[in-house]
A and B are shown apart, each in its own frame.
Chain A
Amino acid sequence: MLLYIARRLMAAVLTLLALSLITYLLIYLAPGDPATTMVAQRVGRFPTADQVQALREQLGLNKPVLLQWVDWLGRAVRGDFGYSVRTNELVTYDLGVRIGPTLLLASTALGLAILVGVPAGMLAAAREGSVVDQLVRSTSVLFVSMPNFWVAFLLILVFSVQLRWLPAFGFQGPSSLILPAIAMALPITANLSRLTRSTLREIQHQDYIRTARGKGNPEGRIWVRHALPNAAVTLVTLIGNQFALLVATTVVIETLFTWPGVGHYYVTHAIATRDLPVIQATVLLFAAVLVVVNLLVDLSYSLLDPRIHTV
Chain B
Amino acid sequence: MTSVTFTRAQLRSSRFRRLILRNKLAAFGIVVLLLLLLSCLLAPWLTSDPLAQDLSNVLRGPSFGHPFGTDHLGRDLLSRVLNAGRISLSILALVLSISFVFGVGIGLIAGFIGGWVDEAIMRVVDLFLAMPTLIIASALVGVLGPGVQSLSIALSVTLWPQYSRLVRSQVLSIRETEMVVAARALGGGDSHIARRHVLPGLLGPVAVQLSLDAGGVMLLIATLSFLGMGVQPPTPEWGQMLVDARAYMQISPHLVIVPGLAILAAVYGFNALSDLLEDWLNPRSG
Contact = CB atoms under 8 A, between A and B. Distances in A.
Contacts of A150: 242, 256, 259-260, 263-264
Given A15-B130, A287-B131, A161 B242 contact: no
Contacts of A161: 249-250
Contacts, number: 118
A156 B127 CA distance: 37
Interface string B254-286: 001001100110011001000000000000000
A19 interface: yes
B135 A247 contact: yes
Contact of A149 (B25, B123, B127, B223): B223
Interface string A8-45: 00000001001100110011011100000000000000
A103 interface: no
Contacts of B242: 149-150, 153
Contacts of B145: 31, 274
A310 interface: no
A286 B135 contact: yes
Q: Interface range on chain B: under 10, 10 to 19, 20 to 34, or 35 or more? A: 35 or more
B144 A30 contact: yes
Contact of B264 (A27, A147, A276): A147
Q: How would you classify the secondary structure of chain B's contact residues: helix, strand, loop or mixed?
A: helix
Given A147-B219, A147-B263, A154-B260, 17 more contacts: A18-B123, A30-B144, A141-B268, A144-B271, A145-B268, A146-B267, A147-B264, A161-B249, A248-B133, A251-B227, A252-B226, A267-B138, A271-B227, A271-B229, A274-B143, A279-B139, A290-B132
Given A145-B264, A147-B223, A244 B250 contact: no
Interface in A82-124: none
A190 interface: no
B253 A157 contact: yes
B157 to A, nearest CB: 10
Contact of B25 (A29, A141, A286): A141
Interface of B: 25, 123, 127, 130-135, 138-145, 215, 219, 222-223, 226-229, 239, 242, 245-246, 249-250, 253, 256, 259-260, 263-264, 267-268, 271
Interface of A: 15, 18-19, 22-23, 26-27, 29-31, 138, 141-142, 144-147, 149-150, 153-154, 156-157, 161, 244-245, 247-248, 251-252, 255, 266-267, 270-272, 274, 276, 279, 283, 286-287, 290-291, 294
B127 A19 contact: yes
